[in-house]
Amino acid sequence: MLPDAESSNGRLTRKGLGFSKDVLMHRAAAVRENLVNNPARPLKTLRQALPNGGPQRWLARTPAMAAGLTERVWTVSDLLRAVPQPT
């Protein structure tokens, strides 16, 4: 089972060694988390049942697929190639 958003981002769980001291750093961590999780992380609650007869019962879907932004699950290398580098 995949961790939820709060447990995958230590900045949101509790005030410990991983808390954000600067709002800019907190925003950067939130953007990174959203960038990876939405197109590259399928969620069990969004999966769709496939027609019977095949070996695979479910079609894995990400939040970006459910929103209609993409038609496939992205890999992290796809994301790194698609995101422009800051100047």
User: Binning pLDDT at 50, 70 and 90, where does residue 68 land?
Assistant: very high
Domain presence at residue 40: yes
How many domains is the chain partitioned into structurally? Answer: 1
Domain presence at residue 87: no
Q: Could you give the angle at the alpha carbon of 4 between the alpha carbons of 68 and 11, nearest 5°?
A: 110
Domain, as residue range, for 72 = 5-82
Domain presence at residue 61: yes
pLDDT digits (tens, 9 = 90+) for 20-67: 677 887 788 778 777 887 888 888 999 988 887 678 888 899 999 999
State how far the Cα of 65 lies from the Cα of 36, in Å rounded to an integer.
13
State how far the Cα of 58 lies from the Cα of 70, in Å rounded to an integer.
18
Encoded tokens for 18: 């991983």
Count of CB atoms within 10 A of residue 65's CB? Answer: 21
From the centroid of its chain, how far is CA 55? 26
Domain presence at residue 9: yes
Domain presence at residue 63: yes
Encoded tokens for 66: 């459910």
Domain presence at residue 41: yes
Query: Has residue 80 got a pLDDT over 60?
Result: yes
pLDDT of res. 22 = 77
Q: What is the pTM of this model?
A: 0.63
State how far the Cα of 32 lies from the Cα of 36, in Å rounded to an integer.
6
